[in-house]
Amino acid sequence: MWKIGELSAATDLTVRTLHHYHEIGLLEPSARTTAGYRLYSGEDIARLHRIVALRQLGLSLEEVRECLDRPEYSLERVLALRTERLRQEIAGKQDLLERLEQLGAHLRANEATADELIQTIEAMNMFEKYYTPEQLEYLRKRREEIGEERIQEVEAEWPKLISEVKAEKDKGTLPSDPRMQELARRWKSLVEEFTGGDAGVRQSLNRLYQDQPAAQQWAGFDPELMAYVGEAMKHGA
């Protein structure tokens, strides 16, 4: 029979953890001393080893209890649930990684301030509201196809193009002017490169910019500029 302090030293589990396992009924000592101290038997220790092994697989304490105490709650089922949860966690981490990479690229291209960074994050969150999961997956694959080098080139090209369009708008250049027509063609080409020609993705992008001023600010243009480019595209068509 092992006292709780001895068991703690042998297993590297704290006395507090063993107390907690007792309190929730996960590992109850088989006996007590005359002074009331907990005593653990060989069977108790064997159960503790199983608890530790299942915890190392990432199972919650409740899932561990189910595995040990309910025959119908098979380990196979628990592992399947845990595997699916882990896949979701990995997907979430991958999404976070892509967000951080995009933010880093945006910062490098625009030397953004902290406030601009927050606006970028807000825009990215809005971005997900306007695209279906299928469209987001399509865009992820599209990003892989284009490659990071080309993406960085495009991200650097957009601010230049927007600046040129603004300059023409401020000068009063007509949408039908050849100079503006050339800028409109470049604008359309960059959008098509992003969407891959997918009409649904393009519609979601348009709805995002029409409904969300913050997204327009993040991209670097306003509704009037969008309308100006739109008129130029109509003349081009």
Note whether residue 124 is domain-resident. Answer: yes
Question: For residues 172 and 58, which has the higher predicted lDDT (pLDDT)?
Answer: 172
The 3-state DSSP composition of the chain as helix, strand, coil percent (nearest 5) reads 75, 5, 20
Does 164 score more than 90 pLDDT?
yes
pLDDT one-digit tens code per residue, 57-113: 877 888 888 888 877 666 777 778 778 877 877 876 777 677 777 777 766 766 666
Note whether residue 191 is domain-resident. Answer: yes
Q: Do residues 201 and 157 both lie within one domain?
A: yes
Give the pTM.
0.45
Q: Do residues 202 and 113 both lie within one domain?
A: yes
Q: Do residues 111 and 222 both lie within one domain?
A: yes
pLDDT one-digit tens code per residue, 180-235: 999 999 988 888 887 887 888 888 877 776 776 655 655 656 778 888 988 999 88
User: Is the C-alpha dihedral spanning 72, 75, 81, 84 positive or negative?
Assistant: negative
Spell out a b/e string for 171-197, using b for 16 or more CB atoms within 10 Å of the CB, else e: eebebeeeebbebbeebeeebeebbee
Domain containing 61 equals 2-73
pLDDT of residue 110: 65
Question: For residues 27 and 142, which has the higher predicted lDDT (pLDDT)?
Answer: 27
Q: Do residues 130 and 100 both lie within one domain?
A: yes
Q: Do residues 46 and 129 both lie within one domain?
A: no
| 175-182 mean pLDDT | 93
pLDDT one-digit tens code per residue, 4-45: 899 888 888 899 999 999 999 999 999 988 888 889 999 999
Number of domains in the chain: 2
pLDDT of residue 44: 92
pLDDT of residue 84: 80
Note whether residue 96 is domain-resident. Answer: yes
Note whether residue 84 is domain-resident. Answer: no
Which residue, 73, 101, 119, sits at the end of a domain? Answer: 73
Residues 39/31, Cβ–Cβ less than 8 Å: yes
Q: Which residues contact 12 (CB under 8 A, 6 or more apart)?
A: none
Q: Do residues 51 and 121 both lie within one domain?
A: no
pLDDT of residue 86: 78
Q: Do residues 42 and 154 both lie within one domain?
A: no
Q: Do residues 149 and 210 both lie within one domain?
A: yes
Note whether residue 30 is domain-resident. Answer: yes
pLDDT of residue 201: 81
pLDDT of residue 213: 62
Q: Do residues 170 and 223 both lie within one domain?
A: yes
pLDDT of residue 168: 93
Note whether residue 82 is domain-resident. Answer: no
Distance CA 59, CA 61 (A): 7
Does 148 score more than 80 pLDDT?
no
Distance CA 169, CA 148 (A): 32
pLDDT of residue 220: 59
Note whether residue 190 is domain-resident. Answer: yes
Which residue, 22, 43, 73, sits at the end of a domain? Answer: 73
Q: Do residues 147 and 185 both lie within one domain?
A: yes
Does 118 score more than 70 pLDDT?
no
pLDDT one-digit tens code per residue, 92-104: 677 767 777 777 7
**Domain containing residue 67: CATH number:** 1.10.1660.10
Note whether residue 83 is domain-resident. Answer: no
pLDDT of residue 20: 92
Q: Do residues 113 and 227 both lie within one domain?
A: yes
Distance CA 107, CA 93 (A): 21
DSSP-assigned beta bridge partners for residue 2:
40
